[in-house]
Amino acid sequence: MCVAQCSRCVGIALIPIASMCMVANVLLLFPDMKYHYLMENNVTKEAVWCSGIWASGFLVLISARGFTSQSEKKGCCYFRAEMLCKLWYTCLALVAAGFCFMVSGTGLAQGPLCLHNGTEGLKWERPLKQVKSGEKLYLYEPERWASACVEPRGVVTWNIVLFSVLMAASGLELIFCAVHLLTAILGVICGPSFCKNKVVPA
């Protein structure tokens, strides 16, 4: 049954990707590898939301576990019931990964929270955030990165790399889950004989 095999392969592939999301989000909470920024609430809010930990991480791992599990009971009805259950897991993973992708994109676009030396002196803010609509995004102006933040050290590069990793990983999760959604729907409609060219109508 290639539908069940595909489901298992997607589940196995999602495990390292979800683990990568969790690690990246944990690192985002500790810029310059120091914990006091988090304790003092001086960490980017998109990192504090921990969407890489609970959404693209934990919820996707739960879904991956559901993809790899197989019922020992045989028969068309049991197979379709199993595929319906996996459809639910797929929808859960899609919503979780999509949420993480949007949050990470927002965090990447708005830049890090850091101690900035502005016109009013040193202040914790997001100096690279777009102020006006149509203003050039800081990502395309790397010459601004070094002078934007006094501390944490290297926080601009830190945020860019880790939020980019989160976006790429959650984007991969979305692709894998979209493929799995299609195969699960085919499994529900066509039954266990789909890959044997003996399609059984619902």
Q: What is the pLDDT along the chain (202 residues), one digit of tens a residue?
A: 577 788 899 999 999 999 999 999 999 999 999 999 999 999 999 999 999 999 999 999 999 999 988 766 676 777 788 889 999 999 999 999 999 999 999 999 999 999 999 888 999 999 999 988 888 999 999 999 999 999 999 999 999 999 999 999 999 999 999 999 998 888 888 776 656 554 444 4
Torsion angle in degrees (nearest 10) through CA of 184, 182, 6, 79: 20
- Tell me whether residue 202 is in a domain: no
pLDDT of residue 199: 43
Only one residue has tokens 């003996």, namely 198
- Closest by Cα among 42, 28, 32 to 160: 28
- Tell me whether residue 119 is in a domain: yes
**Tally of residues, the chain:** 202
Strand partners, 114: 125
The DSSP H or E segment spanning 133 is none
pLDDT of residue 59: 97
What is the spatial distance between Cα 100 and Cα 125, in angstroms, rounded to a whole number? 23
User: How much of the chain is helix, strand and coil, in % rounded to 5?
Assistant: 70, 5, 25
pLDDT of residue 80: 83
- Tell me whether residue 201 is in a domain: no
What is the number of structural domains in the chain?
1
Whole-model pTM? Answer: 0.90
Domain range spanning residue 98?
Answer: 2-196
Question: Strands 121-125 and 114-118, how do they pair?
Answer: antiparallel
The DSSP H or E segment spanning 104 is helix 76-110
Instruction: With beta carbons less than 8 A apart as the criterion, state whether 17 and 171 touch.
Output: no
